[in-house]
Amino acid sequence: MSIVVTGATGNLGRLVIEELLLRRPATEVAAVVRDAARAADLGARGVELRVADYNAPQTLRGAFRPGDVVLLISGSEIGRRVPQHTAVIDAARAAGVARLVYTSMLGCADADFTLMREHHATEQAVIASGLTFTLLRNAFYTEGYTAQIAQQTEHGVVGAAGEGRIGSATRADLAAAAVAAVTQDGHENATYELAGDSAWTFADYAAELSRQTGRTITYTDLSGDAYAQVLTGAGLPAEMVRLLVDVDVTFVARGLAEGGSGDLSRLIGRPSTPLASVMADALA
């Protein structure tokens, strides 16, 4: 039996593997990757590499073994993820894995927009498979916001989220939660809403960035249409513009991105990493 991580060379997958190797021998860890060369360093450390592609269901037949615990890290190809995830679920069920853990999205039960529909459909496929499962509904990555600091300090923070609060979390914290879920007992058929301990508004974000940079940075709240015009003017493709506006207007502004369950800090056994710390690291 192995703990199997799909998407193991992605940002989250890499962190999960590193955390796993602190808790388990490398011989008990397997990485599902599309390109073995990109994971050669993991193979050199004793991690078993299983080459498979979400887009090629036939390659997934040998990716899992009876008794494995599988962490299905959601794919990044928006619009293609339901068939990709379903292929993994079908292969895991055919192999007789012990449990399937899926990285879904915070608020999946209540939100309705393009990104969330794919997670909702995948959750339903996981449950319908009959496999023992764990659903990890991950918050937005804090690093996704702080990666834009150069633009934010130049042009300010812009969005259409109103006073909606965001319970973001770091990739490292969410990776630690995933490792806890796959290595510990007691998470069978459980669903966790994984958000940071302290949610923030975009006005809070701008205020903290102002404090840390010594500059006056404000948040400009726009209508959905006006925000779409700003994003289009910045050169983003139409599909991405629609997605980002949807996230702010139909998700964050409605209070669905806040979290508050405390599941993340309970799973990792410590407080989550606050926005201020992530921002300071990004500025450094």
Asked whether residue 265 is domain-assigned, the answer is no
Q: What is the CATH number of the domain that holds 112?
A: 3.40.50.720
Maximum Cα–Cα distance for the chain, whole Å? 57
Residue 207 counted as domain residue: yes
Rg over alpha carbons for the chain, rounded to the nearest Å, is 19
Q: What is the pLDDT of residue 69?
A: 98
What's the average model confidence in pLDDT over 71-97?
93
The answer to whether residues 7 and 132 belong to one domain is yes
Does 145 lie in the same domain as 95?
A: no
pLDDT band at 130 (very low <50, low <70, confident <90, very high): very high
Please give the share of the chain, as a percent, with pLDDT higher than 90: 91
Q: Is 162 helix (H, G, I), strand (E, B) or coil?
A: coil
Q: Is the pLDDT of residue 111 over 80?
A: no
Using the predicted structure, report yes or no on whether residue 6 has a pLDDT greater than 90: yes
Q: Which pLDDT belongs to residue 253? A: 96
97 in any annotated domain:
yes
Q: In this predicted model, what pLDDT tens digit does every residue of 235-272 receive, in sequence order?
A: 999 989 999 999 999 999 999 999 999 999 999 999 99
On whether residue 206 sits in a domain, the answer given is yes
Cβ-based neighbours of 60, under 8 Å, separated by 6 or more: 52, 53, 54, 87, 88, 90, 91
* 281 and 220 share one domain: yes
Tell whether 213 and 124 lie within a shared domain: no
149, 276: one domain: yes
pLDDT(113) > 80: no
Angle, in degrees to the nearest 10, between helices 171-183 and 11-21: 50
What does the pLDDT look like over 162-187, one tens digit per residue? 999 999 999 999 999 999 999 999 99
Instruction: Give the mean pLDDT of 67-89.
Output: 92
- Given a cut of 90, whether residue 87 has pLDDT beyond it is yes
Domain annotation covers residue 180: no
pLDDT, the chain, mean: 95
Instruction: Please tell me whether residues 78 and 218 are part of one structural domain.
Output: no
pLDDT of amino acid 99: 98
Q: What was the pLDDT predicted at 80?
A: 87
CATH of the domain at 159: 3.90.25.10
pLDDT(110) > 90: no
| 190-235 pLDDT, tens digit each | 999 999 999 999 999 999 999 999 999 999 999 999 999 999 999 9
Same domain, 110 and 152: no
Check whether residue 89 and residue 129 sit in a common domain. Answer: yes
pLDDT of residue 264: 98
Regarding whether 154 and 107 lie in a shared domain, the answer is: no
Let me know whether 18 and 130 are in one domain.
yes
Give the count of domains, the chain: 2
Task: List all residues 6 or more positions away from 197 whose beta carbon is below 8 Å from its beta carbon.
Answer: 262, 264, 265, 271, 272, 274
Task: Give the range of the structural domain holding residue 37, as residue numbers without chain letter.
Answer: 3-138
Inside any domain, residue 179: no
Least confident segment among 20-24, 109-113, 235-239, 256-260: 109-113
Please tell me whether residues 77 and 149 are part of one structural domain: no
H-helix or E-strand containing 172? Answer: helix 171-183
Q: What is the mean pLDDT of residues 100-104?
A: 98
Dist. CA 118–CA 93, nearest whole Å: 20
* Predicted confidence band of residue 8 (pLDDT cuts 50, 70, 90): very high
Same domain assignment for residues 12 and 113: yes
CB 66 within 8 A of CB 96: yes
Where does a domain end: 116, 138, 160? 138
The single-letter DSSP state of residue 198 is: S
Q: Taking the mean position of all CA atoms in its chain, how far away is CA 178?
A: 10
Quick check: is 184 in a domain? no
Is this prediction's pTM over 0.85? yes
Residue 181 in any domain: the answer is no
